[in-house]
Amino acid sequence: MAGRLTGKRALVMGAGSSGPGWGNGKATAVLFAREGAKVVCADVNGAAAQETAAIIEGEGGAAVAETCDVTDSDQVAGVVSRMVERWGGIDILHNNVGIAKMGGPVELSEDDWHRVMDVNLTGVFLACKHVLPHMLEAGRGAIVNVSSIAGFRYVGYPYASYYASKGGLNQLTVGLALQYAAQGIRANVVMPGLMDTPLIRTQIAGQYADIDAMIRERDAKSPTGKMGDAWDVAHAALFLASDEAKYINGVCLPVDGGHHMKVG
Q: Is residue 1 domain-resident?
A: no
Q: Is residue 2 domain-resident?
A: no
Q: Which amino acid is at 113?
A: W
Whether 157 is catalytic is: no
Q: Is residue 260 domain-resident?
A: no
How many CA atoms, within 13 angstroms, populate the side-chain half-sphere of residue 21?
Answer: 15
pTM for this entry: 0.93
- The single residue of 159, 162, 163, 180 carrying the catalytic annotation is 162
pLDDT of residue 203: 64
d(CA 71, CA 69): 5
pLDDT of residue 1: 65
d(CA 243, CA 248): 10
d(CA 25, CA 231): 10
Q: Which amino acid is at 74?
A: D
The DSSP bridge pattern shows strands 63-67 and 38-43 to be parallel
Q: Is residue 262 domain-resident?
A: no
Q: Is residue 261 domain-resident?
A: no
Give the number of other CB atoms < 10 A from CB of residue 209.
7
Q: Is residue 4 domain-resident?
A: no
How many CA atoms, within 13 angstroms, populate the side-chain half-sphere of residue 239?
Answer: 13
pLDDT of residue 258: 84
Cα dihedral sign, 165-150-172-44: positive
pLDDT of residue 191: 96
pLDDT of residue 11: 98
Q: Specify the CATH number for the domain of residue 39.
A: 3.40.50.720
Residue 155: domain span? 9-255
Q: Is residue 3 domain-resident?
A: no
Q: Which residue in 143, 140, 124, 122 sits closest to 252, CA to CA?
A: 143
Mean pLDDT per 10-residue run, the chain (264 residues)? 93 90 95 98 97 98 98 98 98 95 93 97 98 98 96 84 96 98 98 83 63 80 87 97 98 91 69
d(CA 127, CA 174): 16
Q: What are phi and psi of 13, to 5 degrees?
A: -85, 125
Q: Is residue 76 domain-resident?
A: yes
Asked if 169 contacts 180 with a C-beta cutoff of 8 angstroms, the reply is no
Q: How many domains does the chain have?
A: 1
pLDDT of residue 207: 60
57 exposed, middle or buried (CB, 10 Å; 0-12, 13-18, 19+)? middle
Which CA distances in Å does 174 have to 81, 115, 169, 186? 26, 23, 9, 10
